[in-house]
Structure 1
Amino acid sequence: MPEAAAAGGREEYGPHFVQSVARALSVMRSFTADRRSQTLTEVARATGLDRATARRLLLTLADLGYVAHDGRVFELTPRTLELGYAYLSSMSLPELAQPHLETLARELNETAALAVLDGEEIVYVALVQSARLMAVKIGIGTRFDAYTTSMGRVLLAGLSDEALDERFARLRLKRRTDRTVGSPRALRQEIDKVREQGWSLVDSELEEGLRGAAAPVRDRSGRVVAAANVSVHTGRTTPELVERDYVPMILRTVRLIEADLVGSVAR
């Protein structure tokens, strides 16, 4: 349904037609690869809606977690994944990353994944799961607290200091295992370490016996847009082995994903 159809109604589609739903969807569809962030005026222009209606719809979507805004500029959030695979298919990043994750998983015979940050959680958007990690129940759309995971710490490290401070103000640490980080100060130190070295290693903080290493995926502007990782069982590796053998391969995979991402934007 074209964006202009939001202005239509029952005459065009029948007595079942709910115009408010059509308008909300037209607002969401107005965000594209070329218009990832928009002002209220731009959304109103793209949808053919008046500013007051567009504003109400944007703020409602923001209340529901599907749109984020800073008071002036609006953009979609990863929570739109909850609407189904249609969101994933509209994103180039998971599709571009998938073959590289498959290569990484095959070479290491371990689980490889890609995740994005949504509030205080990570959301899996691409995954190649190894049979060696069957005990860990993850899939596309799975969510975990960001601070307990290697991908989450990479994504948190990619935020500005101001955005990170805002998240820390809302942070409520919960112990998942005996090794889960126990204080905001300790977590901030870990995030600073990730920023310095460019990758993260988390050991048995999400689940006992699960070790994960991750690196950031950046767009052409240098902004961290996702994180790629490998998850392994602690019984098969040591932290030193992961740093020596796994991290370089993750970093190589990230560079390949970034190269494809820049190429897709250029096209």
Structure 2
Amino acid sequence: MTEIERDAGFATTLAKGLEVLRAFRPDRPSMSNVEIAAQTGINRATVARLSYTLVKLGYLKQEKSKFRLSWGALMLVNPLLVNAKILQIARPSMQKLAQDLGGTVSIGVIDHVNFVYLETSRVNENVWTSHDLGTIGPLLPAAIGQALCAQLPEDEFAQKLAEMKRFTPEFWPKYIDEFMAGVESVKSRGFSVMRGTWIPGTESTAVPLLRDKNGECFAMSCRVPIFRLSGNQIEEEVAPRLKSLAANVRSQLAFVMP
């Protein structure tokens, strides 16, 4: 029995319902109960009751034997996005940097052992798969994961490492050394760089953005196809420009926030 399961105040049914909602991703927008059960580890009978309830509440929509997120699910995050001044401030500069470099520029936050993109700007080309709002990825093999975790206090960082080792064992031995080096790079140079480690054919850099009063960490990343880069451009040009963008966003945010 896990620590959470031993918590008398923990609402297991609610947690399972949320896990069903979280199971839907851009690469699996529509799933059957059997597929949801496989993704969540929740037994099929329970998934059937949860999906039925979520349809009735307007969070899922059923199409024959498949389910997909309904627009009602968007209402859960709308209050967050409406008040996210950081995204409104950053958006124009992110778009300009993406266009200048021919890459993608994203803002993300920590979600357990993953990151979640809150905003992405990119060139208007189908060069490779681009990440959009709500896209989730593992912290360990991603530059933005390094920039996010570098902002955590020592005790929280140690806890996050323990969580990643436990819940993403498939990534731990392969990426932990590069992850730790990236975190140290963020602390010493203000950015980290990854060259095709997670997404082949691209180079990425990431910088910390801020940690808000609620303890949420925000970071920015920029990913560029290798064929658009020359020499050490990712470190000598892209990373400094991303650092400057982040500093500008922080400055503007300090000016508009009470």
Counterparts of 1:14-29 in structure 2, within 5 Å, are: none
2:237 counterpart of 1:245: yes
Distance in 1, Cα, partners of 2:118 & 2:174: 28
Is residue 2:113 matched to residue 1:120?
Answer: yes
SS for the counterpart of 2:132 is coil
Contact 1:148 1:181 in 2 (8 A): no
Moved over 4 A (4+): 55-65
Q: Which residue of 1 aligns with 2:183?
A: 191
- Which sections of structure 1, spanning at least 5 residues, go unmatched? 1-54, 66-79
- In structure 1, C-alpha distance between the alignment counterparts of 2:173 and 2:233, rounded to whole Å: 22
What is residue 107 of structure 1 aligned with on the other side? 100
Count of matched residue positions in the alignment of Structure 1 and Structure 2: 194
Which residue pairs with 1:152 in the alignment? 145
CA distance in 2, matches of 1:133, 1:151: 22
C-alpha distance in 1, partners of 2:254/2:156?
25
**How far 1:157 sits from its partner (Å)?**
0.9
Conservation of the 8 A alpha-carbon contact between 1:133 and 1:232: no
Aligned partners of 1:189, 1:85: CA distance in 2, in Å? Answer: 36
Residue by residue over 1:151-193, the C-alpha shift from the partner in whole angstroms, topping out at 9 and shown as x without a partner, is: 1110011111211111211223435xxxx97153443233222
Distance of 1:96 and 1:169 partners within structure 2: 34
The Cα RMSD (Å) is 3.2
For the residue of structure 2 that corresponds to 1:112, the secondary structure is: strand
CA distance in 2, matches of 1:110, 1:145: 20
Change (3 A) 1:185 1:233: closer
Return the offset for 1:218: 2.1
* Aligned CA distance change for structure 1 residues 181 and 113 (closer, same or farther; 3 Å): farther
Which residue in 1 is equivalent to 2:61?
Answer: none
Q: 1: distance between equivalents of 2:202 and 2:95?
A: 20
CA gap 1:201/1:239 in 2 versus in 1, 3 angstroms = farther
Match of 1:170 in 2: 163
Instruction: Indicate whether 1:210 and 2:206 are aligned.
Output: no
Q: Of 249, 254, 257, which residue of structure 2 is paired with 1:262?
A: 254
Q: Partner residue of 2:133?
A: 140
User: With structure 2 as the length reference, what TM-score do the two structures score?
Assistant: 0.64
Q: Unpaired segments of 5 or more residues in structure 2? A: 1-7, 20-72
Letter of the aligned partner of 1:174 in structure 2? E
State TM-score, norm by structure 1: 0.62
Query: Which amino acid letter does the alignment assign opposite residue 217 of structure 1?
Result: L
Q: What's the offset of the Cα at 1:114?
A: 1.0
Q: Is the 8 A contact 1:158 1:224 kept in 2?
A: no
Give the Cα separation in 2 of the matches to 1:135 and 1:82. 30
